[in-house]
Chains A and B, each alone.
Chain A
Amino acid sequence: MVEVPAIRVVELRKSFGTLDVLRGVSFDVHRGNVVSMIGASGSGKSTLLRCINRLETPSAGEVYIDGEPMGARVGANGQSSARPLVEINRMRRDLGMVFQQFNLWPHMTVLGNVIEAPIRVRGMSRKDARALGEECLAQVHLSEKSSEYPARLSGGQQQRVAIARALAMRPKAMLFDEPTSSLDPELTDEVLSVMRELAGRGMTMIVVTHEMGFARDASDRVMFLHNGQIEEEGPPEQIFGAPRSERCRQFLSKYRQ
């Protein structure tokens, strides 16, 4: 029996006006795998991630979550039609997302941020949601901050709250969009170690990152994006040990001191 990939991306394209950001990207992510996406700024990594949970609508191509196409649905008569936003919202719940800028909601407490979607979207009772929220905050080692407002936390703490917020939706997979890029170097480690713990527990993850150390030792596969296409992909040993592509080699040389 062939396993259905947790996330399958097929021939994904995205243009903004005349600018082609993604030019036909295809790959599979299997359950429990961690895929790191590296590449220069403007290579399309973030856009690719945002197309996967449809924060951006792809110009062409399709994303399948557990075999279900995100952009279209197939009716009983076999006809496929555009998927309405209500259903896209429902599918998005299964993909947790963590942003570069954290994007915590400043008017809610830490716990408030974490339990908002479980209550509003999953229809959980406040009591159950609180228990779940406390559990998710414990996973990111921030139980003691649950009644603080985000503005009183450090960047690393805010990003860990954002991870807890995504975890509270019990996602099938997590998407990380440069989660440590706006953090001071001494704060990146606390976020990366939480991500490593998640990976260790078998979470399916796609991580857009400039942290080559994380890409090398925490991921099962690394993809190097260039100009909206996957220039090279493979296990970290290959990408960091003996990259086949000249561009990939050049890119990585900038990260070696």
Chain B
Amino acid sequence: MSDALLEAINPAMFWEYRLVLMRGLAFNAYVFFSSASVALAVGLMAALLRVNRAWPFRWIGTLHVELFRNAPDYIMIVWVHFVLPLLLGKLLGQRIEWPPFVSAVVALGFVYSGYFAETFRAGIQSIPLGHLDAGRACGMSERQILWRIVLPQVVRRMLPEATNQFVSLFKATTIVSLIAVPDLMYQVSMVIQTEMRPLPLYTSAALTYFAVIYVVAGTLRLLSERWRNKIYA
């Protein structure tokens, strides 16, 4: 019995296909970094709209946050890949399609931009207004104040929260196999189809994700703690 179990979870299969699987994992990283960049950039813009003095801007920012934060990433990926091209195609009167990778990055990027927008907003609002006054009194422009005084502090304050969101986003990259982005899960499924041994492969895939996230998130937390401690003594 225990021999059969050991045989069933033997990770040798994973080792045998390691190159294919690592290529898959690299693709996860690729999707992760691309969608994280989109999420950070769009999230920052939405957050700046949310703290704007003029209400139409605030309204657009809020709409963005509510729309994307409340949309399941699974459905967003499917929608961006299959529905959006159809809609645009009908509007423009021609056939439109884009590679699965683009859909995955856009969908995940926008869903997570909703979360990052809220993290950015909370960070921006936690900066004492006096810090801004001090910049203005020195003749700094609003743009210089944003990039030199506000955002550097926001980034430090939001790092712990952002680390959690990066972990969620990295986990979410596993569902891009759904639209045939050749990530780790996609490669695992392919190998399982030929080898017919789901147990060791899926288990190894789960352990791989665990190990990667554990190590990277741990390192990030350690670094951010050190970085923050210097300032908030």
Looking at chain A, what size class is its interface with the partner chain? 20 to 34
- Given known pairs A120-B148, A149-B231, A149-B233, the reply for A103 and B138 (CB within 8 Å) is no
Most-contacted residue by chain A among B128, B140, B142 (CB, 10 A) = B140
Q: With an 8 A cutoff between CB atoms, is B144 at the interface?
A: yes
Q: With an 8 A cutoff between CB atoms, is B137 at the interface?
A: yes
- Given known pairs A103-B128, A103-B131, A149-B231, the reply for A89 and B141 (CB within 8 Å) is yes
| Closest chain B residue to A50, Cβ basis | B133
Q: With an 8 A cutoff between CB atoms, is B197 at the interface?
A: no
Which residues in B have their C-beta under 8 angstroms from that of A53? 137
Distance of A90 Cα from B141 Cα, bound (Å): 9
Say how far A200's CB is from chain B's closest CB, in angstroms: 23
Q: Which of B114-155 contact A (CB under 8 A)?
A: 128, 130-131, 133-142, 144, 148-149, 152-153
| Closest chain B residue to A90, Cβ basis | B139
Which residues in B have their C-beta under 8 angstroms from that of A169? 138-139
B141 in complex: contacting residue of A86, A116, A151, CB < 8 Å: A86
B136 in complex: contacting residue of A89, A107, A120, A151, CB < 8 Å: A89
Which residues in A have their C-beta under 8 angstroms from that of B156? 107
Which residues in B have their C-beta under 8 angstroms from that of A64? none
Q: Is the CB–CB distance between B233 and A101 below 8 Å?
A: no
Q: Which of A8-34 contact B (CB under 8 A)?
A: none
Q: Which of A158-201 contact B (CB under 8 A)?
A: 162, 165-166, 169, 175
Q: With an 8 A cutoff between CB atoms, is A96 at the interface?
A: yes
Most-contacted residue by chain A among B138, B139, B140, B148 (CB, 10 A) = B138
Q: Is the CB–CB distance between A99 and B133 below 8 Å?
A: yes
Which residues in B have their C-beta under 8 angstroms from that of A166? 137-138
Q: With an 8 A cutoff between CB atoms, is A117 at the interface?
A: yes
Q: Is the CB–CB distance between B133 and A116 below 8 Å?
A: no
Distance of A76 Cα from B131 Cα, bound (Å): 37
Which residues in A have their C-beta under 8 angstroms from that of B128? 101, 103
A55 in complex: contacting residue of B131, B133, B140, B148, CB < 8 Å: B133
Say how far A80's CB is from chain B's closest CB, in angstroms: 23
| Closest chain A residue to B136, Cβ basis | A55
Q: Is the CB–CB distance between B231 and A106 below 8 Å?
A: yes
Q: Is the CB–CB distance between B152 and A107 below 8 Å?
A: yes
Q: With an 8 A cutoff between CB atoms, is A105 at the interface?
A: yes
The interface bits of chain A over 112-125 (1 if a CB of B lies within 8 angstroms of the residue's CB, else 0) are: 00001100110000
B140 in complex: contacting residue of A89, A96, A97, A99, CB < 8 Å: A89
| Closest chain A residue to B228, Cβ basis | A107
Q: Is the CB–CB distance between A152 and B140 below 8 Å?
A: no
A116 in complex: contacting residue of B130, B137, B148, CB < 8 Å: B148
Q: Is the CB–CB distance between A117 and B133 below 8 Å?
A: no
Which residues in A have their C-beta under 8 angstroms from that of B142? 85
Distance of A27 Cα from B139 Cα, bound (Å): 24
Which residues in B have their C-beta under 8 angstroms from that of A95? 137
Q: Is the CB–CB distance between B230 and A149 below 8 Å?
A: yes
Q: With an 8 A cutoff between CB atoms, is A145 at the interface?
A: no
Distance of A95 Cα from B137 Cα, bound (Å): 7
Q: Is the CB–CB distance between B130 and A101 below 8 Å?
A: yes
Which residues in A have their C-beta under 8 angstroms from that of B98? none
Q: Is the CB–CB distance between A107 and B137 below 8 Å?
A: no
Which residues in B have their C-beta under 8 angstroms from that of A55? 133, 136-137
| Closest chain A residue to B139, Cβ basis | A93
B138 in complex: contacting residue of A106, A151, A165, A175, CB < 8 Å: A165
The interface bits of chain A over 69-107 (1 if a CB of B lies within 8 angstroms of the residue's CB, else 0) are: 000000000000000011001101101110101011111
Contacts A105-B131, A169-B139 supplied; 13 other A-B pairs, CB < 8 Å: A55-B136, A85-B141, A89-B141, A96-B137, A99-B133, A103-B128, A106-B153, A107-B152, A107-B156, A116-B138, A120-B148, A162-B134, A166-B137
What 10 A-B pairs have minimum CB-CB distances, sorted nearest first?
A117-B138, A93-B139, A97-B137, A103-B130, A103-B134, A151-B233, A121-B139, A92-B139, A89-B139, A107-B152
> Could you list some 27 contacts between A and B, CB below 8 A?
A53-B137, A85-B142, A89-B136, A90-B139, A97-B134, A97-B137, A101-B128, A101-B130, A103-B131, A104-B134, A105-B149, A105-B153, A107-B152, A107-B156, A116-B140, A116-B148, A117-B135, A120-B140, A120-B144, A120-B148, A121-B138, A149-B231, A151-B231, A151-B232, A151-B233, A169-B139, A175-B137
A residues with a Cβ closer than 8 A to B are 53, 55, 85-86, 89-90, 92-93, 95-97, 99, 101, 103-107, 116-117, 120-121, 149, 151-152, 162, 165-166, 169, 175
